Amino acid sequence: MTTHLHSPAVAATAVHKSYGDHVVLDGVDLDVPSGTVFALLGPNGAGKTTMVQLLSTLIRADSGQMRICGHDVDREPDAVRAAIGVTGQFAAVDGFLTGEENLMLMADLNRLPRRERWRCAVDLLERFELTDAAGMPAVTYSGGMRRRLDLAMTLVGKPRVVFLDEPTTGLDPRSRRTMWDVIRRLVTDEGVTMFLTTQYLEEADRLADRVAVLHRGRLVAEGPPEELKRQVGDGHVTLRFADPDEYDAAARILDVISRDESALTLKVPGRGDVGSLRRLLDRLDHAALTVDELRIHTPDLDDVFFVLTGDPTARQEPIR
Amino acid sequence: MSNVSSTVSIAFADSATMLRRRLRHMLRYPTLILTAAGVPVAILLLFVYVLGGALGDGVGTAGGMSYVDYVVPGVVLMTVATAAQGTAISVSIDMTEGIVARFRTMAIARVSVLTGHVLGSLIQTMLSIAAVVGVALLVGFRPTAALGEWLGAIGVLAMIVLALTWLSVALAMVAKSVATASNMLTPLMILPMTGSGFVPTDSMPTGLRWFAEYQPFTPFIETLRGLLMGTPMGDGLILTVGWCAAIGLGGYLWAKRLYNREPTR
């Protein structure tokens, strides 16, 4: 511990990774101080998972340097593996084993002192609200339970750095909030460093001390979430049109964040206050365009990308 | 030195943990053992009761042996092949699940997952073989083997199972899906039939006979038959050891290389 007190938990310099012609990461620099929560924010396909796979020794970078708690990822992979825990996007649990057996498996593989193994499993089941389901095979668990078991398994080895790759993607709102509570408690109680990836601005805002935005393999912004939110502003307005021609005409005269051709909807920046809404509607009226439906939204990833990159097509795939 | 010995002891401990994991799977789904034994038992009964009368006349000339005694070694090796398919399926399921990604990010002995699978399959296959031999005894199989020969037969079978299991682990990792993994092992089921398992090779047409005499299952079967029934083994044992060493080592190195290879998506 003491030897690496001053080295950052995660440090990466000029990391490049391509698959064939497809450049996934194009020179990424990262610096995550010990004991903090870092969120890598980006849409599907931005390279978030690749970054986690590189840092967690699953794959190798084409070039660049990465260190975890002072250990070089390339040259000392076992020292890195001993320091980290990874919870991926797809729950890495053994479905044929029960929750308790999964935790005991991790206790064995982490070679905990024999007397502590059982204790550790029981404690984690309790903490993650899995005690009732401890004796059931993990295949019977709900999505939220599997994620919690997955994270509990990651913690058996007492990792100093925990990677959470999209910890709440695909979860219902209630399970998501439970997961957030669990993550926040981990940071305050255990002082672990968290490296999480997410496509939800709200999640990064709730959990992270610092946020970096990944866009087409490069970081386009980095800072505290408040700073990011200040830059992004207050949200956007969705306009739905009944007529494709009017939709096209509106797309030409307005600042559009993103558009959905099939639903005939446009997203435009705006706080949703009376003044700015009136100006927006006046503009449409002036052009004799009729809006079928209007909705006001709090900021999301689309807004971030529009502000940071001016690129309305940042999101290449729809988000579930 | 102490570094090496601790690496070795970690490899043992992790492999033992992975073996326990595999045995837990097996205990939770004991039907896997019965499934692996089911096909060979059906074939045994088919050959003894349906085809055995006619085939026995042709085969029986070799020292007045009954057909059931002749066919059991072939059926036992078919059990090995069926079980190898089961191994490939369970390895393939494992590789497509997230749990293996987790193992890769942990500071554990690298191939212990695979070693656990192989040792678990060895135990499972030997149990399936015991079930098949049990049925064979019920339908009139009367081996002449004494205790020494029985132990020899068990040893030879364990060696064959170990070799073929490493091969099936490697094949399972080449396959991109569980279905492909299963299909890749199907040819292994045919080999006991196209060797000396069910009829003597000298009754086959020239091309097939040449194949039958040089493929590994023929010395496997001849050695097993020699141990159980006291028939001449010839150079069967040496060939069996050689084949097993080649297949086992090749399979092990191949599987290890595939496991250490970067996962591509």
**Longest Cα pair distance anywhere in chain A, in angstroms?**
77
> Please, what sign has the CA dihedral across residues A274, A276, A278, A281?
negative
pLDDT tens digits, A263-289: 899 988 877 778 888 888 898 899 888
Cite the beta strand spans of A61-143 per DSSP E: 63-68, 71-72, 84-87
Mean of all residue pLDDT scores within chain B: 86
What value does the mean pLDDT take over residues B213-239? 88
Q: Rounded to an integer, what distance in angstroms lies between the CA atom of residue B158 and that of residue B125? A: 9
- Interface contact B147, partner A, CB < 8 A: no
Integer Cα distance of A275 and B44 in angstroms: 86
Model ipTM over 0.95:
no
Percent of chain B with pLDDT over 90: 40
Nearest to B230 by CA among B137, B153, B145: B145
Measured distance CA(B108)–CA(B7) in Å, rounded: 10
State the Rg of chain A over Cα: 22
pLDDT for A1? 43
Do the Cβ atoms of A88 and B106 come within 8 Å? Answer: no
Structural domain boundaries of chain B? 11-260
Assigned CATH topology for domain A2-93+141-230? Rossmann fold (3.40.50)
Domain spans in chain A, listed from the N-terminal domain onward = 2-93+141-230, 234-298
Query: For A82-93, how does the pLDDT look when each residue is reduced to its tens digit (9 = 90+)?
Result: 999 998 777 689
Confidence grade of residue B262 (pLDDT, cut at 50, 70, 90): low
Alpha-carbon dihedral sign for residues B47, B49, B52, B54: negative
List residues bridging with A31 in a β-sheet. A11
Q: Do A58 and B102 touch (CB under 8 A)?
A: no
Q: Is A139 on the interface with B (CB under 8 A)?
A: no
Q: What is the mean pLDDT of residues A242-262?
A: 88
pLDDT for A174 equals: 85
Distances (CA, A) of B87 to A169, A193, A205, B157: 33, 39, 46, 16
pLDDT at A255 over 50: yes
How far is Cα of residue A108 from the mean position of the Cα atoms in its chain?
30
pLDDT of A6 > 70? The answer is no
What one-character DSSP code corresponds to residue A139?
G
Architecture of domain A234-298 in this structure? 2-Layer Sandwich (3.30)
Substitution target in B10, B28, B105, B117 with the highest count of A β-carbons within 10 Å is B105
Asked if residue B53 has pLDDT above 90, the reply is: no
Instruction: Measure the CA–CA gap between B100 and A60, rounded to whole angstroms.
Output: 17
Give the residue from B97, B99, B178 with the most A CB atoms within 10 Å of its CB, the best one to mutate: B99
CB atoms within 10 A of CB B197: 28
- For the segment A108-121, the average pLDDT, to the nearest whole number, is 92
